[in-house]
Structures are given as C-alpha cells and as structure tokens.
A and B are shown apart, each in its own frame.
Chain A
C-alpha cells in the first residue's frame, strides 16, 4: 500500500502546508512509499522534476507518479504506474499531535523493577534490560538480547524479529523457558548444573548453547 500525495496550485503554498505537517509528525513519511498524483497540475507546468527533487530532499520516498502529461520532462526515474495496478483507497487520517522522541523510537528498554508473575514485557525494537527478577509465570520478549540483573524464573524470548545473534543473560538461571529466534528450550531440557548460576544462552546453528558467566 502506498500513500498518494496530490500537489495543488500554487505549489509554494502546498509545500508550506506539507512542511507544517512534517513539522507536526516528523516520522509520518518514514519508510512509507509515496505515489505522486500530478493530475491537478496544469499541462504547461514546467518544473515537475524540481518538485520531485524538493520532495526527495524532505525524505519523502516517491515510488511512482500518476496523472502526468506525456510531454513533461524529468519524470524518467519515476515511471508512471501501470494504470490497472493502482486503485486509490480512502483518504487516510494524518496524525495531528506532535511526536516527540517516544519510547517507540528507542532501541533499548530498561525496566528498573521486578517483572511479576502474569506480566509480559514486549519490546520488538531491541534489547531489554531488567534490573530485578523475572518471576515464574512472567515473560520478557525482545527483538534483541535480554539482560536480567536478578533471577530469571519465567520465560525469556530473545531475537524475536529474526535476530539469530541475540543472547539471554541473567544473574541467576531458574528459567521456565528460553527462546532465541524461534529456537526454544524448556527447563527440562536445560543442563541441571546451570540452575541457580549466572548464565547466558546463545544459538550455534539450530542448537541452543548455555554456559555459566564465570
């Protein structure tokens, strides 16, 4: 799915409004493909290539154009989309609240209290550090590695988004279940000698390795 931007005349005013929108929601266009609908511009509009570069400078990723007149120059990098492949959906709501750096933009999460039974900490964007213990019946799920400065009695699930190199570290290993990138091990499968010791877990191929930290 792509966003459609439809510039209107006068182009300067339209750009100002666009800038105001980007100011309010800086990451709105992040990573979103955009199709430029040029149908509202008059045929004699000379500087379409300039407009495209202006948008590109604002970090807007144009993947194609629509409604361009065949006589216009400078559109070669952005070929018109095949007419059958495009079907506009309803206009989408643009978020209006200013977006500060939210926890969503961070790549690590620190929790400075114990994770209690029944609680679930899910953080897909990176590493999770817990200062405290993770109780039996609690779970920590991270896109990256998991660091527990306490006893791990519940579940730790690392490398959620396909990160094969993620690891799980804890000060005391009493885990019910460990998983890294989909490879899991339950308490029964773990080396009993590691119970109660500071330990780490990592993947070697499809095997989960466990070792003490000292």
Chain B
C-alpha cells in the first residue's frame, strides 16, 4: 500500500526541497521504494538537490499531458537504486498541470512505489493545491519564525479542506518538521521556542533539523544530506524523521547548541 506524502509550507525558502530530498533518500536507504516528485513547475530545483539535473529528458508536465510515458520520465538515482525522481518542467508554468493528469500520474506511481513524496511549490495557489491533492500524509516544513508559523497554519487549514481525503470526510495525517533550527539563537530567545510552535500549530512533531553547513553544502553538491554526510546531526535527524514517518515512536532530540570557542571563553559577563 503506497503512501503519498506532500512536503509543504506555504512560505518559500524554509527547506521544502532540501527536506523532500533528504527524507526521500533516508526512506530509500531504509530499503523502501521511493519516488520524489517535483511539483514546482517553472522553478524546478529538486533535480539539482538530487544531483540529477543533467539526466532530465522528460518531465512531470510531459507525463501529465500524455506526451511521455511515466517510465521515460522517471530518473533512477545512481547511488541508491530504490530512489527515483520525477522532475518538474522548467519551461512551463503551473497552469500546465491539470487535475485529471495529476490524478492519473499519482495513481500510476502508487502501483510502482511504497512512498511518493511530492515537493510542493511555495504559496497557496494551483501548484500547491495540486501537490497536496492526493496526499495521505503531509509534512509541514516550518522555521521557528512567526511568519513561517502563520503560513504553515494557513496550509494546515487547506490540508483539512482541499485535499481529496478531506473532501471524502477522512482526516489527512499531518506532521511538523521544524527546520533551520539554530540552538544558539533559540537560547538567546531570538527564535520561537519549539513548544510555542507546537502549541500554535497543534500537530505532532516529526523532527527538528538543525541549521547546518552540511545541509547547505549537500544541496549545492547535488547530494541529499542523508547521502552526502550521513553521520552529521542533520542527516541523523532526517533518518529519525523517516523512521517516524514509517510509524516508529522515537523521542525527538533537540539539536545541541553549538558554541564557538570565543563564546566558550567569554560566555558570561560578570555582574557589576
């Protein structure tokens, strides 16, 4: 039984694409059959993060419009053979996606994979609603910032109203993935606390991903962090998140605060 996961956020730049790639790779490394689907038509990025940008021939739009067969458009990862990518088109826009076409593609993918992970575009318009349309589970990517939290709240409302499951009167499973978490800033009170984000959004926590060099470097090198640096704290957090998606119960670890040598030397100012 395949599970369709949408990775969504409302706001841009919070780490949807990075998280799609890292979670997809983590699941595939746990011997699951995974496809990651880029719904960001016109602004495709997932192919870059997956390191497959030079292998794209056909894309999601070609399949939706019937110009190519699904197997022609799927790109199998060279490092993990249970991981595939269905890229978006860079030359078209979101209007090229049709509801019927997307339904057909998702149905076809359900026959081939255990996990179908859809990378949603930012915003709440057509691209985002079509990406969430057939989801069984949603991963809501949020930064501990007020603007991101409010946009995520808006998206959760849409998940409960505009998905196929919601329209049938069923609930869609929703998980919070807190990304770009900076332990030092959090301890100085410059970011929202994890408890506050959870209280506002009131959905279960899938994981906390620390803001780290490894994640940024991995994206630029075309290797999801769970493949590129599998021992980094960020990769471990994604591996745990993948296991939680599969139904395991694990305690969520708050990433430790990394302190520079200077702040360790001059940590506290004496009381005058």
Q: How far is the CA of A136 from the CA of B146 in the complex (A)?
A: 10
Residue B30 lies at the interface, judged by CB distance under 8 Å to chain A: no
Q: Nearest residue in A to B151 (C-beta to C-beta)?
A: A117
Q: How far is the CA of A132 from the CA of B153 in the complex (A)?
A: 13
Which residues of A149-163 are within 8 A (CB) of B? Answer: 151, 153
Q: How far is the CA of A136 from the CA of B154 in the complex (A)?
A: 9
Quote the shortest CB–CB distance from A177 to chain B (angstroms): 15
Docked-complex contact A117 and B202, CB < 8 angstroms: no
Docked-complex contact B150 and A137, CB < 8 angstroms: yes
Residue B200 lies at the interface, judged by CB distance under 8 Å to chain A: yes
Docked-complex contact A153 and B200, CB < 8 angstroms: yes
Q: Nearest residue in B to A150 (C-beta to C-beta)?
A: B202
Which residues of B110-169 are within 8 A (CB) of A? Answer: 124, 146, 150-151, 153-154, 156-158, 160
Residue A168 lies at the interface, judged by CB distance under 8 Å to chain B: no
The contact of B154 among A113, A118, A133, A153, by CB within 8 Å, is: A118
The contact of A119 among B124, B157, B199, B200, by CB within 8 Å, is: B157
Chain B contacts for A151, CB-based, 8 A: 199-200
Quote the shortest CB–CB distance from B254 to chain A (angstroms): 23
Q: Nearest residue in B to A153 (C-beta to C-beta)?
A: B200
Q: How far is the CA of A138 from the CA of B146 in the complex (A)?
A: 15
Docked-complex contact A118 and B200, CB < 8 angstroms: no
Chain B contacts for A133, CB-based, 8 A: 199-200, 202
Docked-complex contact B157 and A136, CB < 8 angstroms: no
Main secondary structure of the interface of B (DSSP, over half): helix
Quote the shortest CB–CB distance from B121 to chain A (angstroms): 17
Number of interface residues of A (CB under 8 A): 15
Docked-complex contact A135 and B160, CB < 8 angstroms: no
Docked-complex contact B202 and A137, CB < 8 angstroms: no
Quote the shortest CB–CB distance from B10 to chain A (angstroms): 9
The contact of A116 among B146, B157, B199, by CB within 8 Å, is: B157
Chain B contacts for A114, CB-based, 8 A: 202
Q: How far is the CA of A119 from the CA of B150 in the complex (A)?
A: 12
Main secondary structure of the interface of A (DSSP, over half): loop
Chain A contacts for B157, CB-based, 8 A: 115-119, 138
Number of interface residues of B (CB under 8 A): 13
Given contacts A135-B150, A136-B150, A137-B150, contact A116 B200 (CB under 8 A): no
Which residues of A90-121 are within 8 A (CB) of B? Answer: 113-119
The contact of B202 among A119, A132, A136, A153, by CB within 8 Å, is: A132
Chain B contacts for A116, CB-based, 8 A: 153-154, 156-157, 160
Q: How far is the CA of A133 from the CA of B153 in the complex (A)?
A: 11
Quote the shortest CB–CB distance from B73 to chain A (angstroms): 34
Q: Nearest residue in B to A135 (C-beta to C-beta)?
A: B153
Q: How far is the CA of A132 from the CA of B202 in the complex (A)?
A: 9
Chain B contacts for A138, CB-based, 8 A: 153, 157
Chain A contacts for B153, CB-based, 8 A: 116-118, 135-138
Which of A116, A135, A151 has most chain B Cβ within 10 Å?
Answer: A116
Chain B contacts for A117, CB-based, 8 A: 150-151, 153-154, 157
Chain B contacts for A135, CB-based, 8 A: 150, 153, 200
Q: Nearest residue in B to A172 (C-beta to C-beta)?
A: B199
Q: Nearest residue in B to A137 (C-beta to C-beta)?
A: B150
Chain B contacts for A136, CB-based, 8 A: 146, 150, 153
Chain A contacts for B124, CB-based, 8 A: 118
Chain A contacts for B200, CB-based, 8 A: 133, 135, 151, 153
Chain B contacts for A118, CB-based, 8 A: 124, 153-154, 157-158
Which of B146, B150, B151, B156 has most chain A Cβ within 10 Å?
Answer: B150
Chain B contacts for A119, CB-based, 8 A: 157
Quote the shortest CB–CB distance from A115 to chain B (angstroms): 8
Which residues of A176-201 are within 8 A (CB) of B? Answer: none
Chain A contacts for B146, CB-based, 8 A: 136
Q: How far is the CA of A151 from the CA of B157 in the complex (A)?
A: 17
Chain A contacts for B150, CB-based, 8 A: 117, 135-137
Q: How far is the CA of A151 from the CA of B200 in the complex (A)?
A: 8
- Listed in ascending order, the chain B residues whose CB lies under 8 Å from chain A are 124, 146, 150-151, 153-154, 156-158, 160, 199-200, 202
> Told that A116-B154, A117-B154 touch, could you supply 4 new A-B pairs with CB distance under 8 A?
A132-B202, A135-B150, A151-B200, A153-B200
* 9 contacts across the A-B interface (CB closer than 8 A): A113-B160, A116-B154, A116-B160, A117-B150, A117-B151, A117-B154, A133-B199, A135-B200, A137-B153
Closest 7 CB pairs of A and B: A116-B157, A117-B153, A117-B154, A118-B154, A135-B153, A119-B157, A116-B153
